[in-house]
Amino acid sequence: MSESKIGFIGLGIMGRPMVKNLLKAGHKLVVYDKFAALDDVIALGAEKASSNKELASKSDIIITMLPNSPHVKEAILGKDGVIEGLKSGTIVVDMSSIAPSASQEVGQALKAKGIPFLDAPVSGGEPKAIDGTLAIMVGGEKAIYEKVKPILEKMGSSVVHVGDLGAGNVAKLANQIVVALNIAAVSEAFTLAAKAGVKGEQVFDAIKGGLAGSTVMNAKIPMILDGNFNPGFRIELHIKDLQNALDTAHELGVPIPLTASIMETLQALKVDGFAANDHSAIIRYYEKLAKIEVRK
């Protein structure tokens, strides 16, 4: 698939560096975003399309990286959407984090046109999108996955086939539950330490090498201690993912009470005006309760 032309829809915080990594790897790209400026990637050699439909007509593989289920459905199935411009033999890969049922709905619509579809959401936030070290979890037909895997590996250091269509987004929902609850646990612990008069840097150094250590803590505690809540992954997007997790869990008859609890914490932060903060700002909720800041 190395000579295939890739169409990429959605150049936000995540999509833009992903496109740049594909360009850096020598791939030919045509790009489209309904809202974002594309000058920087055009300067690097990407071609600009005027619509999702036009992009599809020029692409052999189409990747979407959009905020949520309605945006993916609009881009692929809507007016002037991908489905109207598809060529025979095209593969569509959605790398957005959406509801598994939405992935299956889009996949069925494309299957009726003879077009294979994969759901391939990512984890790692903006830093790993920039580094090209995202974790990518893929659902869909294994043979199609094998065809596009070399392209996905230009954007991620871990590319895993999870199962049938929708399984990628199930894995992503599981990931988002673990990440949110991990940040909450770290926030509770470090707020307690700060209130007890113990410096966060020392606590971090003391526990990061033990069982409590985690990738989440390693990534988020330095941000918290610096008071840096610039988004790698915004609270409002984590709210979206956890809503998809709650909806999916309830459809399946799976109670997830801890997820419901952290969702309310995120909602409180949104009300306080922190929706655009990085999800490390979960610490702000605990700081407000304890009337203390966890900083250097």
Residues 218, 232, 13, 168: what is their CA dihedral angle, to the nearest 10 degrees? Answer: 60
Distance CA 124, CA 14 (A): 10
Q: How far is CA 41 from CA 19, 29, 153, 217, in A?
A: 8, 9, 20, 33
48 belongs to the catalytic site: no
Largest CA distance in the chain: 65
Q: What is the DSSP string of 245-273?
A: HHHHHHHHT---HHHHHHHHHHHHHHHTT
20, 53, 128, 172: which one is catalytic?
Answer: 172
Q: What is the DSSP string of 140-202?
A: S-HHHHHHHHHHHTTTEEEEEEEESTTHHHHHHHHHHHHHHHHHHHHHHHHHHHHHTT--HHH
Q: Which two tokens stand for residue 87?
A: 């060529």
Three-state SS for 10-27 is CCCCCHHHHHHHHHHCCC
Distance CA 8, CA 52 (A): 9
Q: Does residue 118 contact residue 140 with C-beta atoms inside 8 Å?
A: yes
257-271 and 167-195 are packed helices; what angle lies between their axes, rounded to 10 degrees? Answer: 70
End-to-end CA distance of the chain: 49
Residues designated catalytic: 172
